[in-house]
Amino acid sequence: MNPLGVHALVWVGDWSEQSARFAIESTREVGFDLIELALLDPAATDVAMTRRLLADNGLGATASLGLDLDADVSSEDPAVVARGRDRLAAALEVVHGVGGTHLCGVLYSALTKYPQPASALSRQNSAQAMAWLAEQCAAAGVTLALEVVNRYETNIANTAAEMLTFIDQSGTDIAVHLDSYHMNIEENGLVEPVEQCGSRLGYVHIGESHRGYLGTGNVDFGSLFGAVRACGYAGPVTFESFSSAVVHPSLSNALAVWRNLWQDSRDLAAHAHAFMKERLES
């Protein structure tokens, strides 16, 4: 059985001790194995407090983030790229400090809609930054996985095949992070990208087409979970959902979370846990 996780934004929009305690305790009570931390501002994360709460609840952790334009490692401006590397280094320090296992997300560009395709220099700068980050993650014992997202959130790679090509460009052995929400937009189907990644699949996000309750949209989860099992993937499978009921000061706007798709975080999370567990087991 894959470790099952839930994104912290299902529970809370900040990471004060009160919020962190609620999110971590709720994650454990529902039955998940891990919580995925949102590290858009790594400096705002109290590492010691987070590690203590995780240990108290016997819970694992992963972390994700997306860069902003001021710290975009795909920028053609060396100063912006340097700020991006600093942000990624700080995020890795948090992951390692809390005892986390994976660093994933849109780490290779800003999380935004670009007005044009990525230039050769942009791709080169991003690939070099990812090669550097891969070395840092390997030294820290953290798995690095790059998330494939849709065309409105990056111009580097929008399909599994494009991400594999980009990773090859970096010259390093980086894993691919697939997300059903984005796959449902960009891929030909949900089986092919899993098969393309094969042993290079390193992290899986489960999200519905409208980011609400699983099974109420148009994602073909039967095919996806079947492909995940068939390829032998044994890593985390993490539920991700967003609603205006829980607001992060920057990520909610970046992801255009305008609709209130759910109110009750616990009911949503419990439904997701049962949904994923049943399909992975069957």
Residue 5, both tokens: 């996780």
- Cβ pair 103, 95 in contact under 8 A: yes
Is 187 among the catalytic positions? Answer: no
Burial-class residue 121 by CB neighbours within 10 Å (0-12, 13-18, 19+). Answer: exposed
Residues β-bridged to residue 104: 64, 145
Q: List the alpha helices (DSSP H) in 4-145.
A: 17-30, 47-57, 78-98, 120-140
- Cβ pair 35, 27 in contact under 8 A: yes
40/101 Cα distance (integer angstroms)? 18
Q: Which of these is catalytic: 29, 135, 147, 281?
A: 147
Is 208 among the catalytic positions? Answer: no
159/119 Cα distance (integer angstroms)? 18
Distance set, CA 252 to CA 89, 109, 133 (Å): 23, 18, 26
258/78 Cα distance (integer angstroms)? 34
Residue 171, both tokens: 């010259």
79/261 Cα distance (integer angstroms)? 39
Distance set, CA 76 to CA 73, 114, 140, 153, 160 (Å): 8, 14, 28, 18, 24
Q: Which of these is catalytic: 162, 187, 240, 278?
A: 240
90/274 Cα distance (integer angstroms)? 34
Q: What is the DSSP letter of 120?
A: H
Catalytic residue numbers read: 147, 240
